[in-house]
Amino acid sequence: MTQFDTKTYFTDEIALRHDWTLEEVMTLLEQPLMDLLWQAQLVHRSVNPGYKVQLASLLSVKTGGCQEDCAYCPQSMHNNSDVNDQPDLNVQSVLAHAKAAKEAGADRFCMGWAWREIRDGKFFDAMLAMVRGVRELGLEACVTAGMLSDEQASRLAEAGLTAYNHNLDTSPEYYEKIITTRTYQERLETLQRIRSAGITICCGGIIGMGESLVDRASLLRVLAMHDPHPESVPINSLVAVEGTQLENLSSVDPLDMVRMVATARILMPLSRVRLSAGREQLGREAQILCLQAGADSIFYGETLLTTSNPSIIADREMLSKAGVQVNWELTD
């Protein structure tokens, strides 16, 4: 049974709320860790009894040179990281990566473009061909490429796109400390376009960018106020890349990731909560706590978009020690 099926079985029993107050979210987030874990576990175990974990693979199709000034991002032209503009990958090579990811056990393939927005033309046509090709391989396809128009969203939906990733990153209140070249409102409008086109939403954020606990609660509340909830909620911790504005920030306390994941699971019981960037800094035990508290997906493969991720061997060992269920039959 896929997790989607499991979820439909439990929909009647799990209360889905979209009216959480900031105080309620703060209470969840800052309660004693043991109580938070217990509460998150009750939800997680009932919606995902086998502790199934989806393996998602990432590939950067268009790397670097982005016009936006996201303080954390090595791909912004406003930052001075080592990520040089590289030629865009072509359809054939992207599909070869997708096939390899499938053979390594992934069942979702996410493709990234360092763009402020999608423009029509040969690059968008290539994106559509990549989406069709990934779907033909039997994988879920996710794209992240900045803002888009209603028409572009419809064309992506027609090509079979499963999900579009568009993160809110942080709270509305903290946003302008991190990004000044676009507004929170523009982000929300893009999410609405994706939803209207019938594509599922992948939307989450980053912790460790100097934000307060209230900012974290506020981000989670904005996500949970969406009706329906985003189907996929990536929780990243900052990878402080040299040359970016946030290069000197120290890494987050691994238990803060556990708290974010657990609270996301309680607020959005049926969403996939993805343990995303920053896993190398988390350590094995904190990752396992996240899987117990509510994470049901990881990015799998040695590179995220431009930064490194745990090795496939390390992840296989971690998942097997945790005793979670993974779709290994594709590989063994």
Positions marked active-site: 66, 70, 73, 110, 142, 202, 274
Q: Please report, as residue ranges, which positions from 56 to 75 form the binding site for ligand SF4 (by CB under 6 A).
A: 66, 68, 70, 73, 75
Pick what 238 binds: ligand SF4, ligand DTB, ligand SAM, none; C-beta below 5 to 8 Å, kind-dependent: ligand SAM
d(CA 279, CA 84): 24
> Looking only at residues 210 through 239 of this chain, which bind ligand DTB when binding is defined by CB under 6 A?
234, 236, 239
The whole-angstrom separation of Cα 13 and Cα 25 is 21
Question: Considering the rule CB under 6 A, would residue 86 count as an interface residue with ligand DTB?
Answer: no
Q: How far is the CB of 144 from ligand SF4 (least distance, A)?
A: 7
Beta strand ranges found along the chain (DSSP E): 54-62, 108-113, 140-144, 163-165, 200-202, 205-207, 232-237, 272-275, 297-299
Q: Which of 48, 76, 167, 292 binds ligand DTB (CB under 6 A)?
A: 167
Site for ligand DTB contains 79 (CB under 6 A): no
At 193, the amino acid letter reads: R
Residue from the set 262, 264, 305, 324 that interacts with ligand DTB by CB under 6 A:
305
**Closest listed residue to residue 59, CA positions, set 94, 13, 86:** 94
Q: Cα dist. 330→35, 192, 313 in Å? A: 38, 35, 16
Question: Hey, how many other C-beta atoms are within 10 angstroms of the C-beta on 315?
Answer: 24
Instruction: Pick the binder of ligand DTB from 74, 208, 269, 294 (CB under 6 A).
Output: 74
Tokens read off for 157: 């939906």
- 239/258 with CB nearer ligand SAM: 239
- The footprint of ligand SAM (CB under 6 A) covers 66, 72-73, 75, 112, 114-115, 144-146, 166-167, 169, 206, 236, 238-239, 241, 277, 305
> In whole angstroms, how close is the CB of 22 to ligand DTB at the nearest point?
23
Give the number of other Cβ atoms within 10 Å of residue 11's Cβ. 11
Q: Which two tokens stand for residue 216?
A: 């974290």
Residue 146 is a binding residue for ligand SF4 (CB under 6 A): yes
Tell me how far the alpha carbon of residue 305 is from its chain's centroid.
12
Site residues (vs ligand SF4, CB under 6 A): 66, 68, 70, 73, 75-76, 114, 146
